[in-house]
Amino acid sequence: MIHPIVKYGNPVLETKAQTVTGFSAPELHTLVEEMFQSMYAAKGVGLAAPQIGVSKRITVIDTSNGQNPEEKIVLINPEIIKREGTQTGEEGCLSLPGFREQVTRAKRATVRAQNLKGEVFEMTGEDLLARAFQHETDHLNGILYISHVSVLKRDLIKRKIKKLIKAGEWG
């Protein structure tokens, strides 16, 4: 099932998501599969569960856009345990369609997470993958990428979104 993507303005996006327990539940596998489907349908490279309205600490990432099954990553209860260097580049979010901004992130990031079996693993990513780790982990803490841009730019984006909401063209 493909879920609609929750847009900026919905409080679930700015709420700290809940830790996942109960790894044997089939619902968890279904949820992760539906997250991948929803992400591919929206043409994203990462999706966090709150973006489909589920306030749980789960994110899926595929920087190959569905081209390489080996690049499908599921992070459950992730935390960034190491950051190195910096990179500045354009970043967007499925919950803020139509906007992209320059965001500075760590160039290399190591994440510690659980897989679908509940096993703890660590993974280091660079460049786009490192950016995805940081962006998606932020989502689970209720933080959107616009928190990492200047107040001026953030206010401009918020004003534009208010206009879109008024015009019935948002959410």
Q: Which residues are catalytic?
A: 136
Return residues touching Ni ion (CB under 5 A). Answer: 93
SS3 70: helix
Residue 84 CB, nearest approach to Ni ion (Å): 22
DSSP 8-state symbol, 149: S
Query: Cβ 58 to Ni ion, closest distance in Å?
Result: 14
Contact 145/93 with Cβ under 8 angstroms? yes
| C-alpha–C-alpha distance, residues 137 and 147, integer Å | 14
Instruction: Indicate the residue among 32 and 93 with the shorter CB distance to Ni ion.
Output: 93
Q: Output the smallest distance, CB 135 to Ni ion, in A.
A: 6
Q: Which is nearer to Ni ion, 114 or 137 (CB)?
A: 137
Q: Cα–Cα distance between 89 and 167 in angstroms, integer?
A: 31
Between residues 23 and 34, which has the closer beta carbon with respect to Ni ion? 34
Q: Closest-CB residue for Ni ion? A: 93
The dihedral over CA atoms of 38, 41, 47, 48, expressed in degrees to the nearest 10, equals -20
Nearest to 62 by CA among 90, 34, 40: 40
Find the shortest distance in angstroms from Cβ 95 to Ni ion. 6
Cβ distance to Ni ion smaller for residue 58 or 93: 93
